[in-house]
Amino acid sequence: MKRDIYKSLLQWKNDAGRKPLILKGARQVGKTYILKAFGDKEYQNVAYFNFEEDPNLIDFFQGRIQTDKIIQKLSIYLESNIVPEKTLIIFDEIQNSPATLNSLKYFHENANHYHIATAGSLLGIKVGQSAPFPVGKVNFLDLFPFSFGEFLESIGKSQLRHYLQEKKDFQSIEAGFHEDLTDFLRLYFFIGGMPEAILKYTTGRDLKKVRKVQNEILSAYAFDFSKYASKSDAIKITNIWNAIPGQLAKENKKFMFSRITKNARARDYLESLQWLVDAGLVYKSYNVKVPKIPLNGYREENIFKIFLLDTGLLGAMLDLSQKTIIEGNRLFTEYNGAFTESFVAQELKVNYQKDLHYWAGKSTAEVDFIIQLHEQVFPLEVKSGFSKKKKSLKIYGEKFNPPVLSRATLMNFKHDGNIKNYPLYGLSLFPGD
């Protein structure tokens, strides 16, 4: 399965200033798969070590860190030579071995001719607790669930994706292509971007089996809550996790702790929410009253929305019927547009890998997303159907006078004055030139 991150991995390999790589991302987004595929294609061989499957590996990194002796032990363990620049060394689930994580510093300083790539699904959790971290001695990449563009590639629609990527104007595309892309987007909303769910669909076109995979992933996440957190924290993490779909289904999607359980208070749940953020399972979108650069400096830390990492998992948690795929545009408008706004959050996170923000005025005016790019702030209003209403966007425009206003809807490409309309399937082109 092709992933866009492959180009970044190649850049890392060929960079003269390369450091050991940490590939971050939630469980089951495909970190191990892409590292192995990359190693198989770009190196003579791969030396793979999983610190969760074989805890005995941890012993190789105890005591004084001597990189040459570690390589020797790992070679004996594999019964295969590890050759500098010819072998890709993969340390998987590295969060289970703080000493191995710390050793990356010494590999960078004393043995950087070895190419090392690591993965850790709950690395952020472990580092926040006790693991030493090789600050400044590693490179980072983030892997997310499949974007819509990657999804098109995976179901054999690479030409359609390429056609969309090459678009440079706001002329409406052919009606047939528009309808096809909207149909595929509807399918993506249900399947989502988790690799196993997509693979299950491409091999059998059975949406019941896709939902079974999604539920298994959700069960695995629930198991992580109890395995990697204390009992009391695990209960709070579970309560937050289970509350997210319902809160996204509200017209006002601002996250409210008081809706989790009776008498729930923010200060009692903030650490548990951060656990989910660090695990890559949810994305925060912060309210910004004044959209100035840098956005992070003007956001309100205590006012935010919470989105799940994947629309398919959101649908599974809400037990969304597969019938919604064939019932017109119901899927886009269901639950007050929860899936549409979640999809946009997911696409923006993949495309820009920055914190998410939105703007809310003193009245009911609200612009769903604002992003900082090229020393400018770009507003994006999201509509779950064909609505042409622009009240909030116009209020924002009159108040802050941005160079361009943008909307994401089910409509075709359209440029109306200073307002650009992106079809939801074309969101990867936002904010344009």
**Non-local CB neighbours of 173 within 8 Å, separated by 6+ positions:** 167, 412, 413
What does the block give as tokens for 24? Answer: 């971050």
Query: Does 324 share its domain with 339?
Result: yes
State mean pLDDT over 280-293.
Answer: 95
Which of 118, 142, 166 is the last residue before a domain boundary?
Answer: 142
Q: Give pLDDT tens digits for 228-254.
A: 888 999 999 999 999 999 999 888 899
In the chain, the amino acid numbered 134 is: P
- Check if the beta carbon of residue 42 is closer than 8 Å to that of residue 82: no
Q: Assess whether pLDDT exceeds 50 at residue 15.
A: yes
Residue bearing the bigger pLDDT, 345 or 362: 345
Query: Does 56 share its domain with 14?
Result: yes
Any domain includes 1: no
Helices (H) and strands (E) in the chain, counts: 15, 14
Any domain includes 97: yes
Q: What is the pTM of this model?
A: 0.93
State mean pLDDT over 41-60.
Answer: 96
Instruction: Place 124 in a pLDDT band, splitting at 50, 70 and 90.
Output: low
Instruction: Place 128 in a pLDDT band, splitting at 50, 70 and 90.
Output: very low
Query: Does 182 share its domain with 134?
Result: no
Which of 142, 176, 198 is the last residue before a domain boundary?
Answer: 142
Query: Does 314 share its domain with 404?
Result: yes
Residue 85: CATH number of its domain: 3.40.50.300
Instruction: Place 121 in a pLDDT band, splitting at 50, 70 and 90.
Output: confident
Q: Assess whether pLDDT exceeds 70 at residue 385.
A: no
Any domain includes 119: yes
Q: Give pLDDT tens digits for 290-305.
A: 999 999 999 999 999 9
Judge if the upstream peptide bond of residue 294 is cis by omega within 30 degrees of 0: yes
Q: Assess whether pLDDT exceeds 80 at residue 433.
A: no
Determine the structural domain holding residue 25 and report its residue range. 6-142
Q: Assess whether pLDDT exceeds 60 at residue 271.
A: yes
- 280: left (phi > 0), else alpha (psi -120 to 50), else beta? left
**CB atoms near residue 292 (< 10 Å):** 12
Q: Give pLDDT tens digits for 154-194.
A: 999 999 999 999 998 999 999 999 999 999 999 999 999 99
Q: Assess whether pLDDT exceeds 70 at residue 43.
A: yes
Q: Assess whether pLDDT exceeds 80 at residue 92.
A: yes
Query: Does 164 share its domain with 200?
Result: yes
Q: Assess whether pLDDT exceeds 80 at residue 67.
A: yes
Any domain includes 22: yes
Q: Assess whether pLDDT exceeds 80 at residue 327.
A: no
Any domain includes 66: yes
Q: Assess whether pLDDT exceeds 60 at residue 366.
A: yes
Q: Assess whether pLDDT exceeds 70 at residue 419.
A: yes
Query: Does 207 share its domain with 287?
Result: yes
Q: Assess whether pLDDT exceeds 80 at residue 127.
A: no
Query: Does 228 share its domain with 252?
Result: yes
pLDDT, position 374: 83
- Check if the beta carbon of residue 411 is closer than 8 Å to that of residue 421: yes
State mean pLDDT over 267-291.
Answer: 94
Q: Output the average pLDDT for the chain.
A: 92
Query: Does 130 share its domain with 214?
Result: no
**DSSP code string of 201-254:** HHHH--HHHHHHHHHHHHHHHHHHHHHHS-HHHHHHHHHHHHHHHHHHTSSS-B
Query: Does 277 share its domain with 182?
Result: yes
Which of 123, 142, 161 is the last residue before a domain boundary?
Answer: 142
Q: Assess whether pLDDT exceeds 90 at residue 41.
A: yes
Q: Considering its fold, how many domains does the chain have in total?
A: 2
State mean pLDDT over 388-416.
Answer: 89
Strand 139-142 relative to strand 21-24: parallel, antiparallel, unpaired? parallel
Any domain includes 298: yes
SS3 content of the chain, % helix, strand, coil (to 5): 50, 20, 35
**Using H for helix, E for strand and C for coil, what is the string for 141-159?**
EECCCCCHHHHHHHCCCHH
Query: Does 19 share its domain with 50?
Result: yes
Any domain includes 13: yes
pLDDT, position 281: 96
Q: Give the 3-state secondary structure of residue 378.
A: strand
Query: Does 283 share its domain with 244?
Result: yes
**Non-local CB neighbours of 305 within 8 Å, separated by 6+ positions:** 248, 253, 254, 255, 284, 285, 358
Query: Does 348 share its domain with 217?
Result: yes
